[in-house]
Structure 1
């Protein structure tokens, strides 16, 4: 088995979508980078890599058996054994996971570019290990888990705010005041005003949802900021993301 040593990881916990496991250029100082002393490296096929990167389902038992207690983390000069963790690659992309003792990839991280290149060098010319998935459930994307295509090209901040917008829209769909939906649709697209009289609340919501799910713009951001006003939970998320992204930009300049 191949092993890597002294890896810097930036864990993203509970993320089922790979676009939320940020690449190195989007890491932030407050993320809490950790050092992995030793960890196994597995070359796997594209389907299994996609499954690990973009889902939170059970990993093949044979894979878990192969990597059991082969990872060590270093913290305060102490070496801690990790039950199930590995670096995986399909030869094109790289991901690190830690199951936290469970059988699914609860924590995920990317690698810094130099260590990514080392992964590709180490697996060059080798055949992937074959692990069979046991009846995986097909992945379904929805308003609270948009498909990668809907997040393509967005920055970390934009992805976070887009998810916040989708959460607010999901809440709006179940409002006790259907007229609110029409208001926000015309706020998003004033040209819909005349048509609003003929639309049901659900039809208006569908137009708003499908109109906002593509890309990200100043218009998206303005709608999100207005839609969450007066909702403490959403406002806290909005403020937190804006503060973090501002700090990140300042640290880069």
Structure 2
């Protein structure tokens, strides 16, 4: 068993998609960075790596058995045992997970670049562990868990706001005010105003969803801002992301 020591981690909890487990260059000052004293390193197949990185389902029992209580965190100068945690790599990428006592990767983190390079050096020339995986597990993407291709190239802030927009769209789909759908589609694509009046509610919603789920632009941002207005939970997320931008700009001036 390979082990790593003194690792800095930035946990993202309950994230089933790897694009939301932020790379080091996207870590923020307010993130809760923790120090791991010791943790097992597992070299696994591409298939198992992507499963751990991009899903929230039960891990192979043999893997859990191999790492059981072999991780130690440092908190207030005390060494605390962790039930199930590990650094995993397929030789091309790295992710750290902690099940917080369950059997699925509830918390995930990336590593700082220097420690990532060390991972690749440690597994060089080695063979991946042959952990059994259930071949019937199929990952399904949907409006609240977009396909990674829909998030490609976006910053952490843009991904957060895009997820917020998708939450608002999902709420819109299930609302009791069908005319709102045509209204928001007109906001998104005012040039289609005459045609939009002829669309059914379902067709209007599908066009709005398909139009907004690709990329990110100022038009996306404006639509998101308008759709979340007056909804306290959504507005809190919106304001949080935009306050960070203001703070960043002020710190540069």
TM-score bracket, shorter-length normalisation: over 0.9
Does 1:214 find its partner at 2:221? no
SS at match of 2:134: coil
Q: Residue 166 and residue 133 in structure 1: after superposition, are their counterparts in 2 closer, same or farther (change >3 A)?
A: same
8 Å CA contact retained: 1:151, 1:159: yes
Structure 1: gaps (5+ residues) = none
* Offset at residue 252 of structure 1 (A): 7.3
Question: Cα offset for 1:191?
Answer: 1.6
Find the aligned partners of 1:14 and 1:41 in 2 and give their Cα distance: 22
Verify: 1:109 aligned to 2:109, yes or no. Answer: yes
CA distance in 1, matches of 2:30, 2:178: 41
Distance 1:245 1:197 in 2: 38
Tell me how many residue pairs correspond in the alignment.
Answer: 253
Report whether the alignment pairs 1:78 with 2:78.
yes
Identify the residue that residue 145 of structure 1 maps to in structure 2.
Answer: 145
| SS of corresponding position for 1:39 | strand
> In the TM superposition, what is the alpha-carbon distance from 1:247 to its structure 2 partner?
3.6
Q: Distance in 2 between matches of 1:78 and 1:40?
A: 19
CA pair 71-245 structure 1, distance change in 2 beyond 3 A: farther
Give the secondary-structure state (helix, strand or coil) at the position aligned to 2:197: helix
CA RMSD of aligned residues (A): 1.3
Partner of 2:44: 44
What is the TM-score normalised by the length of structure 2?
0.97
Asked whether the 8 Å contact 1:53–1:95 carries over to 2, the reply is yes
Residue 7 of structure 1 aligns to a residue whose secondary structure is strand
Length-normalised TM-score, structure 1: 0.97
Following TM superposition, by how much is the alpha carbon of 1:177 offset from its aligned partner in structure 2, in angstroms? Answer: 1.4
Per the alignment, residue 195 of structure 1 pairs with: 195
Unaligned runs of 5+ in 2: none
SS in structure 1 of the partner of residue 30 of structure 2: helix
How big is each residue's C-alpha offset from its partner over 1:66-114, in whole Å with a ceiling of 9 and x where there is no partner?
A: 0000000001100000000000000000000000011000000000000
- The 5-angstrom pairing of residues 11-160 of structure 1 reads 11-134=11-134, 136-160=136-160
Residue 243 of structure 1 corresponds to: 243
